[in-house]
Amino acid sequence: MRSAFLSPFRFYLVFAAITCVFCSLAGRLVYLQVVKGDALRDSAQNARQNFSVLLARRGDIVDAKGNLFATTRSLVEVGVDPQAVQDEDLHKVSRLAELLQVSEVEILEAFSNKTRPGNEFSGEVRPIRWTKIADDVEEDLYRQLMSLEIKGVYGNFKHSRLYPGNKLASHVIGFVNKEGIPSMGVEKTVDYYLRGQAGWREWERDGRRRELLQYRTREVPSKDGLNVELSIDRMIQDMVERELSSVVEEFNPISASIIVTEPSTGYVLAMANAPDFDPNKFNDFEMGNLRNRTMTDVYEPGSVFKIVAAGGAMNENLVTGDSIIDCSSSITMRGSRKYRLPRDDHSLGKISVEEVVVHSSNRGAAHLGIMLGASRFYEYCKSFGFGVRTGIGFRGERRGTLHHPKRWDGLTITRMPMGHAVSVTPMQMHSAMAVVASNGILMKPQVVKRVYDSEGKTVVEFKPRSIRRVLRTEVAQDLTGMLAKVVSEGTAKRAKVKGYLVAGKTGTTKKIIEGQYSNRHHIASFVGFLPANDPRIVISVIVDEPKMKPGRIGYGGSVAGPAFQRVAKEVIGYLGGRPNQTDEELATMQKERLRAL
């Protein structure tokens, strides 16, 4: 039998081919194991191991009686891994779209788009492992989605902030944005206590992306945030915001603010501004709506500021309530210096200090400022809390403007006592009036009462804090009697509350437009407290540019006074201060008390 013949050419060709194949395999192995070994090892490790952050639940914010202002709920971000989608599940897309309220086209596009092109640094096409389909899905709805058993569709749990009251107390509460960052209000002020401490977990998963519990290596549990109780009373806040809506409807102002506090503690019971916003949908509102105007807006306070000159002069024993001030002349001499006095709306002649306050005499206030002198008057302005932040803690609070006497011109000493040449925030003016209501003591305004844990145990308590004594007790009480007459006999008769003695002061300020005081643009205000013989609440109403009928001016007494009256009546009734005396009886008692002093 003849042996098979194998040509040398064929032999070497086959040998060379086999050698090339084995060399290629060996080269590929060297490339994978040596050249790319570290990168591929890290890639495999990353595919197998997973590191996840365990987010802490943000604490709740409640009012003084435990009503919820802000809370945290668990939501799910639903998406799909397109690589895991199977054709037999495509018929379930219509039901998925129905549950999520998303179009089928959008879902099918997410299912079918499996790769993304490379960028300018890497031309490599990469597989898509996650595409978001819907955000903020409730847990109950998510369970229904999972019952469809669509492979590749799953969700990531997250925390979302919810404000059940919507616009209620929005400027006090503030909000947390979509990135979980608090931006204003209490959310920002006490974020340290609310945010808690995030944890983390390191674990491994199998080829189907399922967790392998036996390979969970490290886990640090999260620590939920603490809860915060405010001094704000939800009922009083609602009363205030309803009144603000009425003011806006009647006068259509640029803005309006109302503050309610307890004079003895400094606790804020309500604080509201118009315009406002809904913290659940803060992106839908203009930036101006988000501003807490009680802290950020400054204005010339006008006649309300006269309590500083009157209180300071009486506290220095320069005058008493019965001292006579000559308001008939437009010029006065102090030593060798001549002072030009401001005008009064009506000729008042020689009147007592009490009448200066009751009839809101600009010239009388100027005389009191001159008596005090620039240095002493400036120190009383600072002592009442002007020119510095109140310390309430809200971000963006302004100092206002109070220039040192070195920067005053020749008119400042006669204009500042009537509330010109100085700018204040509504909260500063409110706190100054609260000095009179609290027997001469300046209290620090506070919104947060305490921080407590999930069991209700107090962790941090913010007790009432007095800053300084501004006026002697007897001076504050004398000034209270004068302010009570402002309401009963003077410029604030429309602020009366039947059955209660109300003390307060109106302010009507001309705004500076193009460098000059305007006769058509005003800020109307009224700041007062009740009952005057035992103050329980201080209320401020500030209305910026109320729109009046032609020929009429938006005075504080006619614009802010009635709003004060309506709020005061509701709040004092809610707090249990039932009227048990007539206005005449209360006025008589007040006169007798003042005589005894």
Q: How far apart are CA 107 and CA 442, in angstroms?
A: 62
Distance from the Cα of residue 72 to its chain's centroid: 18
Pick the CATH number of 234-596 from 3.20.20.10, 3.30.230.70, 3.40.710.10, 3.60.15.10: 3.40.710.10
**Amino acid letter for position 393:** G
**CA angle (193 as vertex; 189, 195 as ends), nearest 5:** 95
> Do 57 and 225 meet the contact criterion of CB atoms below 8 Å apart?
yes
pLDDT for the residue 1: 43
pLDDT for the residue 596: 57
All residues at 6 or more sequence positions from 279 whose CB lies less than 8 Å from its CB, including other chains: 70, 161, 163, 166, 170, 173, 174, 175
pLDDT for the residue 592: 62
What's the pTM? 0.82
All residues at 6 or more sequence positions from 295 whose CB lies less than 8 Å from its CB, including other chains: 392, 394, 396, 397, 398, 425, 426, 427
Q: How far apart are CA 556 and CA 66, in angstroms?
A: 36
To the nearest 10 degrees (0 to 180), the angle between helices 306-315 and 362-383 is: 80
Computed on alpha carbons and rounded to an integer, the radius of gyration of the chain in Å comes to 36
> Do 266 and 391 meet the contact criterion of CB atoms below 8 Å apart?
no
**Amino acid letter for position 42:** D
pLDDT mean by block of 10 residues, the chain; 597 residues: 64 84 84 72 59 80 96 85 83 86 85 73 68 82 84 80 94 91 94 86 59 57 92 97 96 96 97 96 92 95 96 96 92 85 88 94 95 96 96 92 94 94 96 97 97 94 96 96 94 92 93 83 95 94 93 90 96 80 57 57
Domain map (residue ranges) of the chain: 234-596
Farthest CA pair distance, the chain:
152
